A and B are shown apart, each in its own frame.
Chain A
Amino acid sequence: MALPVRTFDAVIVGGGGSGMRAALELARADLKVAVLSKVFPTRSHTVAAQGGVAASLGNIDEDNWHWHMYDTIKGSDYLGDQDAIEFMCRKANEVVYELEHFGMPFDRLAGGKIYQRPFGGHMREYGKSPVPRACAAADRTGHALLHTLYQANLKARTQFFVEWMALDLIRAQDGTVLGVTALEMETGEVMVLQAKATVFATGGAGRIFAASTNAFINTGDGLGMAARAGIPLQDLEFWQFHPTGVAGAGVLITEGVRGEGGYLLNKNGERFMERYAPNAKDLASRDVVSRAMATEIKEGRGAGKDGDCILLKLDHLGEEVISKRLPGIREIAKTFANVDPVKDPIPVVPTCHYQMGGIPTNYRGQVVVPANGNPETVVPGFYAAGECACVSVHGANRLGCNSLLDLLVFGKSAGETVIRDLRSEGKSHRSLPGDASDLALSRLARLDGQKSGERVADVGADMRRVMQLHCGVFRFPDLLTEGVRKIKEVAERAGRTEITDKSRTFNTARVEALELDNLVETAVASLVSADARKESRGSHDRADFHQRDDVNWMKHTLWYKQGSRLEYKPVHRKPLTVEPFEPKARVY
């Protein structure tokens, strides 16, 4: 069946922070651009970011990008690519000032400059003591940022396709990406969106875990599409567990609480982080704090009636600071934990929060794959930015506030690269291959024709249980190996689901089934990659290999869907202009 085709210079899939930052760049270049989003753009998950965006503005204390770069590399446990990290940290001030010029309502210091607060792992003088580097709008930085970017795009007249879901990539015989097939949710119509440049900005897949701070829409759609089209997924064994998700509810409580002076207590009222990170204490890196909390709980010092959570104390900050700097947290704590943090501590647990891995890209936003002996051959026409991409600036563990920075810097960078590439190319579109829409249509036909099968909700629940049990904060060899078997079973079951709703109009059952296809690709990649990595690094902590092994494992994982095969490629240890930071023991 031939689908209707619409042609664009560029199609951006995803209307969150990175997608809208890329769109804004393209809007200046007089190109025909479409931005697809499953939800109205301001509902994208960037909206839930709280604490801030990292940049060494030095508005309160002396700071510079070299220190930020060092912190990011150390935070990544030396798996991050040093060229990309240098690029990001050097660009940070510029993209934050731009955001302010767009109208971002940052909090202010007495002299009128942007307010900054300390955040985990952000230090001065190469690790000496915490420095205020997180540029914040109260504890609603992501909301303020996302709305500001949407508003700037309105001004720039960006064309949005709202409530459209991309289904699959279209690739030519030679691998060039020629666009996507997509579903308009309101009408159920499927269309080909042909483009000279396709930019994925689809966010993460944090919904593969049962306990997650992530929104329902974070289903790894870009990763699923890439994997099905033969693109490998990079470093998916690395998942960040945020130390402070509300116990039971999973809702995020920003690290900014600790940045403002809050701290964690076990059931004995002990400020236990002093034992695990004597210098940075509660502002150590997230992987370090999450492991410390899990250890406290495991060793019987957890709080709560079942001893399964940790307490986040902030009442000593006083009502004024809490109301001014952390108003959203107070609201969340009251709603989801039944406590007013002005009086009582918030019960928290480490909760899946961020995907460090993703679609392999370089710092220009181009997707790169191994080919002809080069581990980083550019895939023509294909770009990715934000959480769906693995540049890799976060390596094995991301620092707080570096995600909003990542999406600004690399959203912009991808936009600039697209402009440059389109200028150097011819004006005409390549013709689409005859099978351009086959993959998407076969997935839809399978769902329409399936007359019996499991419910999407049941398979999804099993996937989340497997990930939670087998791929959590601490990882054990037997559980990992068993997890690989189990998650592959789940993935097979995802291909046999049945939806009873076969209608066309805003069929959310169909959308959820299509999302599950993407989730399971990410879940399988994560477990297979985690099982294979025989060391502990950043967020990947194995009971049987307790140390980081730079000799054998300072390398990036690449997982291919076809055959669930793994390859590896080297870490970029050479920055762009400065001397490399050599790996050393990571203490906070």
Chain B
Amino acid sequence: MRFSIYRYNPEADEKPRLQSYDIALEPTDRMLLDALVRIKARDDTLSFRRSCREGVCGSDAMNINGKNGLACVTRIADLKEPVEIRPLPGLPVVRDLIVDMSQFFKQYHSVKPYLVNNEPPPEKERLQSPEDREELDGLYECILCACCSTSCPSFWWNPDKFVGPAGLLQAYRFIADTRDQATNERLDDLEDPYRLFRCHSIMNCVEVCPKGLNPTRAIGKIKDLLVKRTV
């Protein structure tokens, strides 16, 4: 099978290039990550991140035939040859398929993604009804792979000012949590022409999310809450 893979080593290369690999796959190689591991066994200079190989750690996000996805849950059989693999778009490339994710995490951190509740905790668990807990479904499952934010044109243009879909999904995860008491502060923080309102509902994020999550819907709910707050 033929692959065309983005290569760049800042120590050796003046500029990036695409390198072709022809490799014979085994019947057990079902996912793109299996193929990449096989390529690396032959050419150990190819660098990429990977860990859980089951789509839950979020390490191996990359751009596969023009679309962001996780190599470990992308079936080889579904890919058109030559399979063109590039690093996630819009973030600085450290080397080969490894991008510098600092800006992505900075935005995630900026929404204060942790529970704020200043009441002394009870002796046992805080109670939460199953219905209230259900509000967190589709939010807490995010694996921070960055497929969504790096497919978002608004994030490409303003990665320093726009929180991006991943960060906003997590902002809403805490707004939606009945145990959290900082909704107003969270909304204040997002009421900003860039941080929230750069989202123009292009919905690339929804299209690429390997966990089937919907950041656009969460962003819409934050916007609704802001409107409700003013009336």
Contacts and interface: CB of A to CB of B under 8 A. Distances in A.
A143 B143 contact: yes
The 7 closest A-B pairs by CB, nearest first: A103-B115, A112-B127, A509-B44, A457-B41, A151-B114, A43-B57, A501-B45
Given A39-B59, A103-B114, A154-B109, A215 B127 contact: no
A278 interface: no
Contacts of A248: 28
Given A154-B109, A216-B50, A336-B54, 11 more contacts: A40-B105, A42-B58, A47-B52, A105-B140, A113-B125, A143-B141, A455-B41, A501-B45, A505-B95, A506-B47, A506-B96
A471 to B, nearest CB: 22
Given A103-B114, A144-B140, A505 B133 contact: no
Given A147-B140, A186-B94, A503-B9, A48 B54 contact: yes
Contact of B129 (A40, A108, A137, A504): A108
A111 interface: yes
Residue of B101, B129, B133, B177 with most chain A CB atoms under a 10 A cut-off:
B133
B44 A505 contact: no
Interface string A122-141: 00000000000000010010
Nearest to B109: A154
A506 B59 contact: no
B59 A43 contact: yes
Contact of B45 (A105, A144, A509): A509
A520 interface: no
Interface string B80-116: 0000000000000011101001000100010011110
Interface in B140-163: 140-141, 143-144
B186 interface: no
Contact of A112 (B43, B51, B112, B128): B128
Interface of A: 39-40, 42-45, 47-48, 57, 93, 96-97, 100-103, 105-114, 137, 140, 143-144, 147, 151-152, 154-155, 186, 215-217, 248-249, 251-252, 328, 331-332, 335-336, 455-458, 499-501, 503-509, 512
A43 B51 CA distance: 7
A506 B94 contact: yes
A215 B144 contact: no
B96 to A, nearest CB: 8
Residue of B30, B125, B130 with most chain A CB atoms under a 10 A cut-off:
B125
Interface string B37-65: 00011011101111111111111000000
Given A101-B126, A140-B141, A504-B11, A47 B114 contact: no
A106 B40 CA distance: 39
Interface of B: 9-12, 28, 30, 40-41, 43-45, 47-59, 73, 94-96, 98, 101, 105, 109, 112-115, 117, 121, 123-130, 132-133, 136, 140-141, 143-144, 174, 177, 179-180
Contacts of A186: 94
Contacts of A335: 55, 73
Contacts of B177: 103, 105
B39 to A, nearest CB: 11
Contacts of B12: 503
Nearest to A503: B11
Nearest to B58: A43
Contacts of A154: 109, 113-114
10 contacts: A39-B59, A42-B57, A47-B56, A101-B117, A103-B115, A215-B57, A216-B50, A248-B28, A504-B11, A508-B48
A454 to B, nearest CB: 12
Contacts of A140: 56, 141
B172 to A, nearest CB: 13
Nearest to A512: B44
A97 B124 contact: yes
Contacts of B112: 155
B44 A499 contact: yes
Contacts of B45: 500-501, 503, 509
A44 B127 CA distance: 29
Given A40-B144, A108-B133, A45 B52 contact: yes
B77 to A, nearest CB: 11
A152 B114 contact: yes
Nearest to A251: B54
A96 B44 CA distance: 43
A186 B9 CA distance: 12
A507 B94 CA distance: 11
A103 B124 CA distance: 13
